[in-house]
Amino acid sequence: MFRLDLQRLFLLLTTAAVLLTFANSYYVTYQVQKQLLIDSTLEANRVYAAKLAETTNNFLQNAQKQLAYSAKILSTDFDNESLRESETERLYQQSSFFNSVSIINSKAIITTVFPKTIPIKGLLLPENNRNPFNARKPLVSNPMVAPTGSYLMSISHPIFGMNEKYLGFITGSIYLHQNNVFFKLLSQHSYIDGSYIYVVDQNKELIYHINKKRIGEQIEGNHVIDSVIIGTSGSDKVVNSLGIPMLAGFAYIKRSGWGVVAQRPLENVMAELDVQLTEVVLKSLPLLFLILTIVLIASRYITKPLKALASQANHMYQNDAEQNILNIKSWYFEVHELKRAILSGLGTLKHKINQLNKDTNTDPLTGLYNRRSLDQLLEQWRELKQSFAVIAVDIDHFKVVNDLYGHDVGDEVLKHLSLLMKENCNENYIAFRNGGEEFLILLPSTKQADAHFFAEKLRVKIAQYNMPIAGNITVSLGISYWDSNSNDTIKITLKKADIALYQAKRQGRNCSILHS
């Protein structure tokens, strides 16, 4: 089964983390910048639309003031044709507000027009163009078709004579398909970024558009136009009549009831963002490559001692294994602790590494290790040159116990004695049942004097223990020591422990003898 080594795993994970972090940063930056750019574009268009609305409102106000001034002059001598002609010419010449100026009398007949080349003088206003005539108040009309056939809007002011007699009105016309001050006012907007403006009247008809062919077109299904013609101003996303998503700012022109909309294609805004972030990515690539290079170097440096420890783990029983592990540089905490644990394991009871299953290596009655386990452990210690002390234990007069109380009671005595030995042995001392009522205790790295002290302590506790039914019993103990540097074999050491045990028996039992 294929398994990644630590270096490749470390490199894979850190590289993935770096790339995912970079991708996440790019995504978050993109989303934040996108929203900021959309918001700033919407706000810029709103401000611009409001400014255009204010400027247009001022234009209409000034135009109406000029018409009001002329109406006041004409009210004193309305029937004076020369005065009417001079006043219409003055209005036309003094500014570029109007494409034409006309005066209509109280019978809805066009009495005067300038330029004079416009052939409408003497004509009766059509019924559908009589809104300024009937209103008898200052008015900005909706687009209409003039008697000449031109598509225009008009700004008008009524003329009243003595006793508030209605004499007619004076009007300035702006031809929506021709250049005029209105177009010049609105066409100052820059279109290089795809943005443009348009103006709609209360009927949702375009009265200004960069594409003059669309002037007069009625727009439906546009919520921005629906909002602006009812007098609201603001900004919003919208899909225009051509199906193009737009970022629109809109403002209401109070004096005329029109709405001005400044908008920019969302695609153009996003294209600008794409250019910016592409540049960011390109400038970030050198740093990204540098980070990945550092990650590669770091992965080798960090995993090198772990790889060395893993390699030595497969050769734990070689003679030079400990020295090889000592030579591994453990420059960070985890490797240091792992190295220390391995060295500690080599210096402690290595027999635990090779312990066989308890069912085949322990005595079924007492739960102590059996003779097979003893032989295996002693062979391991011989190979590892592990010095140890050995205590041979034998129950005094055990035959009497069996004869008096039966073998069942004798078995209980063996069990309780084994439990006492287990409880008094530390984690390094190991007790074995050698056969019958004979036991062995191995004490690794323990000198004879310490082993004798332990044996005496164990003997006293056994003598004080009240066995079930059998009562108090005693044991005799023999102690010997195997030095890994001596010429004696382990077998001789075990024999010495037996000799010391028999000596304890001869000296009256219930004592421990140290083999000299």
- Record the pTM: 0.54
Measured over the CA atoms of residue 263, residue 268, residue 272 and residue 277, the dihedral's sign is positive
Domain ranges of the chain: 61-175, 350-514
Helices 6-76 and 81-94 cross at an angle (nearest 10°) of 160
Per-residue tens of pLDDT for the chain, all 516 residues: 556 666 677 778 888 888 888 888 888 888 888 889 899 999 999 999 999 899 888 888 898 999 999 999 999 999 999 999 999 999 988 877 888 899 999 999 999 999 988 888 889 988 877 888 888 999 988 777 766 666 788 899 999 998 889 999 999 988 876 666 666 766 665 556 788 889 998 888 888 888 878 888 888 889 999 999 999 999 999 998 788 899 999 999 988 889 999 999 998 888 888 887 888 788 888 887 888 888 788 777 777 776 777 776 666 656 666 777 777 777 677 767 777 777 776 656 344 544 445 667 888 899 899 998 999 999 999 998 999 999 999 999 999 999 999 999 999 999 999 999 999 999 889 999 988 899 999 999 999 999 999 999 999 999 999 999 999 999 999 999 999 888 889 999 999 999 999 999 999 999 999 997
Q: Cα separations (Å) of 306 from 299, 317, 318, 320, 342?
A: 11, 19, 19, 18, 12
Which tokens belong to 408?
A: 């069942």
Residue 515 falls in which region: left (phi positive, over 0), alpha (psi -120 to 50) or beta: beta
Topology given in CATH for the domain delimited by 61-175: Beta-Lactamase (3.30.450)
The CATH number corresponding to 350-514 among 3.30.70.270, 1.20.1740.10, 3.40.50.10320, 3.50.50.60 equals 3.30.70.270
Strand ranges for 40-162 from DSSP E: 100-105, 110-114, 139-140, 144-145, 151-160
Non-local (6+) Cβ contacts of 90 within 8 A are 70
Strand partners for 152: 144, 175
CA distance 177 to 142: 15
Residues 279-305 as b/e (b if ≥16 CB within 10 A, e otherwise) read eeeeeeeeeeeebbeebeeebeebbbb
- Strands 512-514 and 475-482 turn out to be parallel
**Separation of alpha carbons 515 and 508, rounded Å:** 17
Q: Which residue has the tokens 């010419």?
A: 89
